[in-house]
Amino acid sequence: MTQTLRDPLSKRRLKAWLRLLNVTRQSENHLREFLRVNHATTLPRFDVMAALWRRREGLTMSELSRALLVSNGNATAVVDRLEREGLVLRTPVEKDRRTVQATLTEAGIRQFESMAAAHENEVNTLFHRLDAEDLDQLRAILQKAVAEPE
């Protein structure tokens, strides 16, 4: 209360950001450990496979890096490794020979689906204290935070 008065909004936004970062890192660390121990994989691999699973027709490398908010060099490296293991396939696009379509192979689909439910369950456990109202509020706040125009 008095805190609200002493503390300018700017400092409160900074603190909120630090808290957000903290919760996100804790959760990421937990899920990384979960994927490593239970499914012998890593977070970036899982993220790439999840993105490709959602769009079964595939994604170009640029679409992939934009979707995951990582650099294109990064996407190349992770897809390289997944391709080497036969989980992802690069297909040249006839219409535009600059681009490549990355898709999950059959093995990739099988592997991802064998992890997806357990992963969702782990996230569910991780955030089990948040009820429907919390989730609604959180969504509203996060959407507001990244809204485009002013």
Partner DNA sequence: CCTCATAATTTCAAGTTTAAAACTTTAATG
Partner DNA sequence: CATTAAAGTTTTAAACTTGAAATTATGAGG
Least distance in Å: CB of 10 to DNA? 24
Q: How many helices (H) and strands (E) does the chain have?
A: 7, 3
Least distance in Å: CB of 110 to its own copies? 21
Nearest 10 degrees: Cα torsion 21, 42, 127, 66? 60
100 or 104: CB nearest DNA: 100
Q: Is 97 in the site for its own copies (CB under 8 A)?
A: no
Q: Is 73 in the site for DNA (CB under 7 A)?
A: yes
Q: Is 126 in the site for DNA (CB under 7 A)?
A: no
User: Looking up tokens 């592997």, which residue turns up?
Assistant: 111
Q: How far is CA 31 from the centre of its chain?
A: 11
Contacts of 54 (CB under 8 A, 6+ apart): none
Contacts of 122 (CB under 8 A, 6+ apart): 30, 31, 34
Q: Is 87 in the site for DNA (CB under 7 A)?
A: no
Q: Which residues bind its own copies (CB under 8 A)?
A: 4, 9-17, 19-29, 69, 120-121, 123-124, 126-132, 134-135, 137-139, 141-147
Q: Which residues bind DNA (CB under 7 A)?
A: 29, 32-33, 36, 42-45, 60-63, 69-81, 90, 96-100
